[in-house]
Structure 1
Amino acid sequence: MTKSDTLAMPAIDTLSFHPNFTRALEFFQTQELYTVSPMHEIAGPDGLTVYAKDETQRMGLGAFKALGAPYAVAQILAHGWLEKTGETLTPERMTDADVREFAATHTFVCASAGNHGMGVAAGARAMGAKARIYLAETVPAGFAGRLEALGAEVVRSGEVYEDSVAEAIADAERTGDTLLADGTWEGYTEIPKWVMEGYCVIAEELRVAFEASGRWPTHVYLQAGVGGLAAAMAHMIRLNWAEQPELIIAEPEAAACLKASHLAGEPTRGAGPESNMGRLDCKDPSIVAWSVLERCDVSYETLTEEEGQAAADALAAIGVATTPSGAAGYGALCKRPVEQPNGKEIRPLVIISEGPA
């Protein structure tokens, strides 16, 4: 994979995103570990009450990415099974011995800054497949141990995330195994759309809760690395939420690739030093995520390293344990508190995207 400061634009149809979020929700509702993640009301700046969607315990993996790669693994195998046998698999059928025997012939390869790799490893194990995860030297050893505990092969490669991405791509080309990335680039867009389709479950859980309460958020803060979560959430909010909030995308200053792409009008690198918001430290945007965000009327906020850490510390002080990455949306809210005209009530929503481990 070759990338320059400005990435080549593909044909527009490859950037479309029309998720079957009902299928994703139905899939997870058959999974033993699935429960709706909680939403808390927590203290915010200037006395605000903040809605906080808590992904820190999601399906035993401790991050929202438990909804992405495991779903994509299941969809890839289901499509392969359909091509082989003509049978459309139901979620219940996926546990049968013949389907698991088929899955055992598949290996999924990816690069990860931590949580995506966990999702790939967990999804592969659940289906009876194998996983090989490439990690840069900057990824903490604890993540490597957690991946190996899920049965994945871990390969250390390169100094930064982009190096490990290049190695994962080369591996898949060399071995014929399935590349399961959460980012998209020219020539590789369709599999990550299934990852994003899984993330749509979070927006649907929230929509149901807000429909029931009648108290919709006025502002939604969405942290972004390559942009998959932010784009999936933004798409769903614009699609079917009864009351439309402002959408603010939070990125590290050191890796603000989506803001840079917005300003340039095309997918563009967000170059910078290594960030302590490690799971958001992605210098190249997902071109599909960028395209989705461009049509969803979003604004951007960037955080310094100190602001990201301060947000995590502030959440810890009120009993919410997370990382600077998990706290980035809250950090953007604290950096630039919102003002609602005419004295209307302000109700911000943030996503606590991962636990502290």
Structure 2
Amino acid sequence: MVLDHWYANPAARAWRTPPPESARAFHRTFTGYRPTPLTSLPALAAELAVGHVLLKDESHRLGLPAFKILGASWATCRALCTRYGLDLGAATVASLGTYLGAEVAAELRPVLVTATDGNHGRAVARVASLLGLAARIYVPKGVSDAALEAIRNEGAKLVETDLDYDDAVALAARSTEDDEVDLLIQDTSWAGYTDVPRWIVDGYATLFEEVDEALEMRGLSGPHLVACPVGVGAFAHAMVDHYRSRASSPALLSVEPDTAACLAQSLLAGQPLTVKTGETIMTGMNCGTPSELGWPALLAGMDAAITVSDEECRRAVADLTNLAQDVGPCGASTLAGVRKVAAMRARRDALGLDDQAVVVLVSTEGFQANPLG
């Protein structure tokens, strides 16, 4: 049976928060940095009866097939600058690598540690490689062989477990508790661990700055609806912080697998919940507990949350592939979610969808980052 979780908060667009710290200048220092495409898909606009549908394509982000390096790189930069008392404003990946190689004894160079269900771990491993550091990546059960091999190919030590995602995160964190050298770069938060997850959220905001610039270049004043995939909610937190810190704010929609609806169920309950997860082709979204750091902003600023099935996601992957878009299951989930919204008048009205609306679908990964299971 398909579970259809739906949550709506009519007050969300009136809520405001201070703007996040921008990491855009730092990201521009990467060799090969350029904004990822925002592609117009008029066939989908016609299907959904809206003015424009645009896909933010993260299939090629700084040499990786997903957006995660935006957060992993900025958080690692911030953490290293804090540890060594370096000037954050002047820091680049190249300058940090030079400093670590010249000024830090080999046995005192940190190992970057994280738990992941795919793309975040690969991003942390890539950042470690760029800095001349080692990485240790813990993975839960259910991660595809292709994703495991991709992490290994970054040069990281891979620790495979038979745990679910939340328990793998706990294991990674415990591995650094009594170690003054190794550095945990985790994209979810808990009591006493908030700085790095906050910096990861800030790093993700570069993506939404690019969306705004691309829409302006097209002569569009801004989106009416932005839809993003959700795992623990760090990326959704970045979306809320970005758009709710502006005078004019669009509707914001989170999309989750129906087998791992930790945010939707938490929003419906009005408090953060841990839910039992099942198997899903949306591997990077198979998370059971929402981010503690992001929860207040998500509760106050998220217009709506919806869940989708693997079958609905497969259809979205196929349809986007037929439109020449390189989109994996997590990335395609946003189309599946907006389709379910657009099919019901009450939901369309809740999010202000009409025949002039500009809809942005954030595709967080390419197909090769998370192929269909």
TM over 0.5, yes or no? yes
Match of 1:36 in 2: 35
Q: 1:157 to 1:25 in 2, by over 3 A?
A: same
Do residues 80 (structure 1) and 83 (structure 2) align?
A: yes
Please state whether the residue corresponding to 2:137 is helix, strand or coil.
Answer: strand
Distance in 1 between the 2:88 and 2:116 partners? Answer: 31
Structure 1 equivalent of residue 327 of structure 2: 322
Aligned counterpart for 1:213 among listed residues 201, 218, 229: 218
Q: Higher relative contact order by CA 8 Å / sep ≥ 6: 1 or 2?
A: 2
Return closer, same or farther for 1:297/1:285 CA change in 2, 3 Å cut-off: closer
2:238 equivalent to 1:235:
no
| Map of 1:180 onto structure 2 | 185
Which residue number corresponds to residue 61 of structure 1? Answer: 64
Q: Structure 1: where are the runs of 5+ without partners?
A: 1-15
Could you give the per-residue CA deviations for residues 294-324 of structure 1, whole angstroms, max 9, x where no partner exists?
2214211111121122211211121112222
Specify the alignment match of 1:5 in structure 2. none
> Paired residue for 1:284?
289
Q: Does structure 1 retain, via aligned residues, the 8 Å contact 2:18–2:245? A: no
> Percent sequence identity over matched residues?
31
Task: Tell me the SS of whatever aligns to 2:330.
Answer: coil
Q: Which amino acid aligns with 2:258?
A: E
Q: Normalising by structure 2, what TM-score?
A: 0.84
CA–CA distance in 2 between the matches of 1:110 and 1:281?
A: 16
The alignment covers a number of residue pairs equal to 336
**1:142 match:** 146
Q: Kindly indicate whether the alpha-carbon contact (under 8 Å) linking 1:36 and 1:205 is maintained by their aligned counterparts in 2.
A: yes
Change (3 A) 1:219 1:265: same
In the alignment, which of 102, 118, 125 is matched to residue 121 of structure 1? Answer: 125
Q: What is the match of residue 164 of structure 1?
A: 168
Distance 1:159 1:170 in 2: 14
**Cα separation, 2, equivalents of 1:298 and 1:128:** 42
**One-letter identity of the residue aligned with 1:65:** K
Note the C-alpha offset of 1:264: 2.1
What does the per-residue CA deviation read over 1:112-148, in whole Å, with 9 as the maximum and x for residues that have no partner?
0000001111111112222100012311122222112
Aligned amino acid, residue 113 of structure 1: D
Alpha-carbon distance between aligned partners in 1 of 2:326 and 2:237, rounded to the nearest angstrom: 25
Distance, in Å, in 2 between the alignment partners of 1:309 and 1:342 is 24
In 2, the alpha carbon distance for the partners of 1:261 and 1:184 equals 16
Give the CA RMSD over aligned residues: 2.2
Structure 1 position 352, deviation (Å): 0.9
Q: Give me the whole-angstrom Cα distance separating, in 2, the residues matched to 1:317 and 1:160.
A: 34
Tell me how far 1:277 sits from its aligned partner: 0.9
Structure-2 separation of matches of 1:272 and 1:149: 28
Q: Please, which moves more after superposition, 141-150 or 342-351? A: 342-351
**In the alignment, which residue of structure 2 is the partner of 1:6?**
none
User: 1:89 Cα deviation (Å)?
Assistant: 6.3
| Distance in 1, Cα, partners of 2:324 & 2:80 | 40
Answer yes or no: is the 8 Å Cα contact 2:97–2:130 preserved in 1.
Answer: no
TM-score by length of 1: 0.87
1:351 aligns with 2:357: no
CA separation of 1:187/1:17 partners in 2, compared to 1, >3 Å: closer, same or farther?
A: farther
Q: Tell me how far apart the structure 2 counterparts of residues 103 and 77 of structure 1 sit (CA, whole Å).
A: 15
Please state whether the residue corresponding to 2:113 is helix, strand or coil: strand
